Amino acid sequence: MRLQLATWPEVETYLKDSTGIIIPIGSTEQHGPTGFVGTDALTAEGIAHHLGARHGIMVAPTISVGMAQHHLGFPGSMTLRPSTLIAVIRDTVESLARHGFDRMFFINGHGGNIATANAAFNEVYAERSLAPASNRPSVRCVMRNWFTCPGVMELAKELYGDADGSHATASEVALTYHLFPEDAARVRTAPLSPEIAPNGSIFDAEDYRRSFPDGRIGSNPALAEAEHGARFLEIATQELAQQYQEFVNA
Ligand code: NI
C-alpha cells in the first residue's frame, strides 16, 4: 500500500495492525550514456512498491535526491549535502513517528547514502536519548541496500562477472530496463567506449569526471537485459521481504 495513495483513515486503520513502514531512498545522478539519471531512486522505489503491494506493507514517498556530490560534473545530477540529507531523513522519520510508526525500513539504491543515513539514524536516536524518559515505543531505523542482497550479488556475478562494475552497474541498469521498457529502447544503444569502464576511487565532481569520462565505474551495462531486471526484482523482493519481517518482529 502506497502512503500517497492511501486516505488518512486507511493509514489509521493500518497502524492498528502494524507500525512498520518501508521508505525507499535513492539518488538522482548520471549513470553513464545508457543508464537513467534516476536509476538509484527508480530501482529502490520499484522494489519497494513491489514488496509493499505483495505483502500489504505501507510504503512512504521515495527520497529521490541523495548524497551524490561526486556526480555533479555530469548534467542532470543533483545532490543534497550530507547535512541536508540528515535533516530530510530526520524530519521524514519524525513525521511518521508522530502517527505511531516505529519501525522504519529504508530500501536504498545508492551507496553514497549509507554513511549519511547512518548519521541521520544516530541523530534520531540521540535526540530521543537526550529527552526526558518516556514510555513511548522506541523508533528503530534500518537501511538495506537492494544491490547487496546475497541473491542479487550472486545473480550479478553469474550474469556479468566483474563487468557488473561499481557504478552504472549492469544489474541496476537491467532493473530499470525492466521497469521502463520504452525509455530503455531509446537509450540502450548509445555507444560505450571502452566496453568495460575503468575502476578507481571517488573524490569530488571534477576529479570524478576526469577519472571516469563517461560516468561509469568498472561496468559494462551493454550486458543489461530487461529479462535480467525481472529476475533481480523478484530476488530482491523476496530477500527484503524476509529481512523486513525479521525487523518488524524483533
Ligand atoms: Ni546507481
Distance 121 CA to ligand 1 centre (A): 22
Q: What was the pLDDT predicted at 46?
A: 98
Q: What was the pLDDT predicted at 137?
A: 82
> Is residue 109 within 8 Å of 25, Cβ to Cβ?
yes
Q: Are strands 140-145 and 20-25 parallel, antiparallel or unpaired?
A: unpaired
Distance 148 CA to ligand 1 centre (A): 12
Distance 102 CA to ligand 1 centre (A): 28
The predicted-structure confidence for 154-180, as pLDDT tens digits, reads as follows 999 999 999 999 999 999 999 999 999
Q: Write the CA distances from 132 to 20, 148, 206, integer angstroms.
A: 25, 38, 47
Distance 171 CA to ligand 1 centre (A): 9
Distance 164 CA to ligand 1 centre (A): 12
Is the full-model pTM beyond 0.95?
Answer: yes
> Is residue 142 within 8 Å of 117, Cβ to Cβ?
no
Distance 112 CA to ligand 1 centre (A): 9
Residue 247 has pLDDT above 90, yes or no: yes
Distance 27 CA to ligand 1 centre (A): 8
Domains of the chain, first to last = 3-245 (3.40.50.10310)
Distance 114 CA to ligand 1 centre (A): 13
> Residue 245 burial (CB < 10 Å; 0-12/13-18/19+)?
middle
The predicted-structure confidence for 68-115, as pLDDT tens digits, reads as follows 999 999 999 999 999 999 999 999 999 999 999 999 999 999 999 999
Distance 120 CA to ligand 1 centre (A): 21
Residue 135's pLDDT band, with cuts at 50, 70 and 90, is: confident
Residue 4's pLDDT band, with cuts at 50, 70 and 90, is: very high
